[in-house]
């Protein structure tokens, strides 16, 4: 068999490059799919790649059993099977997850192992094929491995910066990768086009290429409908919106009674029936604190009268509020009730979630167009691989002339699509000549279900937050359930306290969540926890009209029953006691056995504890 050296070299280069690129992209795709379905990103990525690497080692050893005369035909068969399994495997996993949940882990590991096995056979077979023309082992290994590694690098970049952003679902990315993978068969056929002994294999391979590409295109155009049909089985109510973003899987459902629910990676974020309870507890107690300290007579006034007096009071204007998370706009909706707030800065890493809150009619009705405010500036995070530190670039104004804007109030809203940890680190640095501080900071993050979320409950995070909170400012943190995740709740409070805050716990019953908790805190140098608790317990009154929160609800939120399982672990918890108008402090600072540990950036304790507690109730 005669070969043109120029054509031969380029086809071998391209073949090795494509197998490397597709192999890496397959690993990323199945890891992303597993994290979308199961929610634990770091765990699923590590496990998926580990299983595939293990299988690749077995595949590299198994190829030695293939005789030299069958190398080409076996390579073609492996590539065709890998393309088909890689393209349709994601859909198979989703179907098993929905219909046969108990068998999902077994099928998932089997899928990862089989794909890894075939990927592991590719490079040794290519090296053996190339040995016919590259007699020196060193040159042969260097050529194939160099192109395979480079292909893996380019495949990773394309997956990260193109496929995840441009394609609507991870499954669509799998089909597109498989089309690229099947092209390696065409490249191999071109390389062996002069071979007479392999003519039958060539014809069969050409037929397989066309059939495979047709099935992949069919899958790309049909996957949205199939995925929606399958995902609908996971929810009782009708799915009205679903999208997989680079950060999470977003699903909106609506019941026949009009209950709108949002799920992120399968976890409920809110129900329109009772989200007002959550968001009123998240915002109004803190807003009372930053206003009432200068208005001691607010208790005797009605909410409208209080609002009018706050507007007229110049010394209470120019409040700056930072909302970390809260991309659904529901917390901002509550903030916009206060005319004394001049600037609201909302930081959420997921631009798609913010866009959903600005455009989806059901969500804009619920958040009252809070993120379609007439005075709004949108910023984005610009990532430079050569400079990993975040930079902030202003975007042009978005034309929202067709949307119903909010026009009341003078608030200026700034939206940043940036990681909250990076944002606080940036503001705490010496990058800015002006020192930015906020009167109120609200942390409205998902529970620490993933390792990457645990950093948002870490000591370093709260230290950065401490640096940008005004001396008399207030900080609020949603802290999961003090009943279902009592140890996690206690760890969050202890970590906030370790950063220099004086936190007190709050909790109330939310029908869709159960018993839910928050921490409200001030700098310990400004006000201690006892004084903060007493102020809320004795003096709180809503400054604006609310649906749930009133003086009685506030008192109940500050009390934990005598038999509460987390009583001796939560920092500055206060227990109801007879003959005490203000309940006594129940925190035991001298008992090291009851003092919870601290969540740091490296120990991920909030994540580990939360996961272990969650398993007890599953």
pLDDT in tens, 322-334: 999 999 999 999 9
Question: Structural domain boundaries of the chain?
Answer: 5-229, 238-268, 271-616
Same fold, 5-229 and 271-616: no
Whether residue 451 contacts residue 41, with contact meaning beta carbons closer than 8 Å, is answered with yes
> Mean pLDDT throughout 109-130?
91
Its CATH class, for the domain covering 271-616, is alpha beta
**pLDDT of the residue at 239:** 92
Number of Cβ within 10 Å of residue 421's Cβ equals 21
CA-derived radius of gyration, the chain? 29
Give the pLDDT confidence of 587-618 residue by residue, as tens digits: 333 333 468 899 998 888 888 898 888 777 65
> Mean pLDDT throughout 347-352?
92
**pLDDT of the residue at 602:** 86
| pLDDT tier for residue 232 given thresholds of 50, 70 and 90 | confident
**pLDDT of the residue at 366:** 96
**pLDDT of the residue at 312:** 53
**Out of 169-173, 251-255, 485-489, 566-570, which region has the weakest mean confidence (pLDDT)?**
566-570
pTM of the complete model beyond 0.75: yes
Give the pLDDT confidence of 237-284 residue by residue, as tens digits: 999 998 888 888 899 999 999 999 999 988 899 999 999 999 999 999
Which residue bears the tokens 């395979």? 148
Domain 5-229 belongs in CATH node 1.25.40.10: no
Helices (H) and strands (E) in the chain, counts: 20, 13
> Mean pLDDT throughout 395-421?
60
Nearest to 122 by CA among 162, 174, 180, 82: 82
> Mean pLDDT throughout 57-86?
89
Three-state DSSP state, 545: coil
Which residue bears the tokens 């990103």? 41
> Mean pLDDT throughout 525-531?
92
> Mean pLDDT throughout 151-178?
83
Q: Does 204 or 396 have the greater pLDDT score?
A: 204
Nearest to 172 by CA among 122, 223, 108, 239: 223
Burial of 428 (0-12, 13-18, 19+ CB in 10 A): middle
> Mean pLDDT throughout 541-570?
81
Distance CA 320, CA 413 (A): 10
Give the pLDDT confidence of 455-508 residue by residue, as tens digits: 999 999 999 999 999 999 999 999 999 988 999 999 999 999 999 999 999 999
Most confident by average pLDDT, 391-400, 490-499, 556-565, 570-579? 490-499
Give the pLDDT confidence of 14-61 residue by residue, as tens digits: 888 999 999 888 888 888 888 878 777 778 888 989 999 999 999 999
């Amino acid at each position: 068999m005669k070969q043109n050296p120029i054509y031969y070299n380029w086809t071998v280069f391209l073949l090795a490059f494509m197998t490397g690129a597709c192999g890496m992209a397959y690993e990323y795709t199945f890891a992303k799919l597993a994290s979308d379905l199961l929610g634990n990103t770091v765990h699923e990525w590590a496990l998926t790649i580990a299983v595939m690497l293990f299988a690749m080692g077995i595949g590299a050893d198994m190829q030695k059993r293939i005789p030299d005369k069958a190398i080409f035909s076996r390579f073609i068969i492996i590539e065709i099977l890998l393309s088909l399994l890689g393209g349709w495997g994601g859909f198979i996993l989703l179907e098993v997850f929905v219909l046969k949940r108990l068998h999902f882990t077994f099928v998932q590991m089997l899928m990862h192992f089989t794909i890894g096995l075939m990927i592991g056979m590719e490079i040794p077979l290519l090296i053996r094929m190339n040995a016919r023309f590259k007699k020196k082992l060193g040159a042969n290994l260097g050529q194939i491995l160099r192109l395979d590694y480079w292909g893996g690098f380019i495949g990773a970049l394309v997956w990260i910066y193109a496929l995840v952003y441009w394609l609507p679902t991870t499954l669509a990315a799998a089909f597109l990768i498989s089309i690229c993978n099947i092209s390696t068969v065409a490249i191999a056929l071109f390389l062996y086009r002069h071979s007479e002994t392999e003519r039958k294999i060539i014809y069969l391979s050409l037929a397989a290429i066309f059939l495979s590409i047709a099935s992949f295109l069919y899958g790309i155009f049909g996957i949205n409908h199939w995925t929606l049909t399958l995902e609908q089985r996971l929810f009782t109510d009708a799915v009205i919106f679903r999208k997989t973003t680079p950060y999470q899987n977003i699903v909106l459902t609506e019941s026949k009674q009009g209950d709108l629910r949002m799920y992120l990676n399968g976890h409920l974020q809110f129900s329109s029936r009772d989200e007002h309870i959550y968001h009123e507890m998240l915002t109004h107690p803190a807003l009372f604190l930053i206003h009432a300290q200068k208005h001691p007579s607010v208790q005797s006034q009605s909410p409208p009268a209080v609002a009018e007096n706050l507007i007229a009071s110049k010394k209470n204007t120019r409040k700056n509020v930072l909302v970390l998370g809260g991309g659904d706009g529901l917390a901002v909706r509550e903030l916009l009730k206060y005319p004394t707030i001049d600037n609201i800065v909302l930081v959420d890493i997921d631009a798609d979630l913010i866009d959903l809150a600005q455009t989806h009619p059901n969500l804009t009705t619920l958040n009252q167009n809070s993120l379609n405010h007439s005075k709004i500036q949108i910023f984005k995070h610009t990532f430079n691989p050569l400079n990993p530190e975040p930079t902030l670039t202003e975007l042009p104004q978005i034309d929202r002339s067709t949307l119903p804007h909010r026009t009341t109030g003078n608030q200026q809203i700034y939206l940043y699509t940036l990681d909250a940890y990076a944002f606080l680190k940036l503001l705490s640095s010496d990058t800015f000549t002006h020192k930015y501080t906020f009167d109120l900071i609200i942390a409205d993050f998902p529970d620490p279900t993933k390792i990457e979320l645990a950093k948002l409950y870490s000591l370093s995070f709260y230290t950065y937050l401490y640096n940008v909170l005004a001396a008399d400012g207030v900080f609020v943190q949603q802290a999961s359930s003090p009943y279902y995740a009592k140890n996690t709740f206690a760890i969050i409070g202890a970590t906030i306290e370790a950063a220099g805050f004086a936190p007190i716990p709050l909790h109330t019953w939310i029908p869709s969540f159960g018993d839910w908790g928050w921490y409200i805190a001030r700098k310990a140098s400004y006000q201690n926890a006892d004084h903060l608790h007493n102020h809320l317990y004795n003096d709180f009154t809503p400054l604006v009209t609310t649906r749930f929160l009133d003086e009685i609800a506030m008192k109940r939120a500050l009390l934990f029953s005598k038999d509460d399982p987390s009583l001796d672990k939560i920092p500055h918890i206060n227990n109801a006691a007879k003959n005490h108008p203000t309940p006594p402090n129940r925190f035991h600072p001298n008992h090291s056995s009851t003092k919870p540990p601290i969540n740091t950036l490296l120990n991920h304790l909030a994540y580990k504890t939360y996961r272990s507690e969650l398993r007890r109730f599953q």
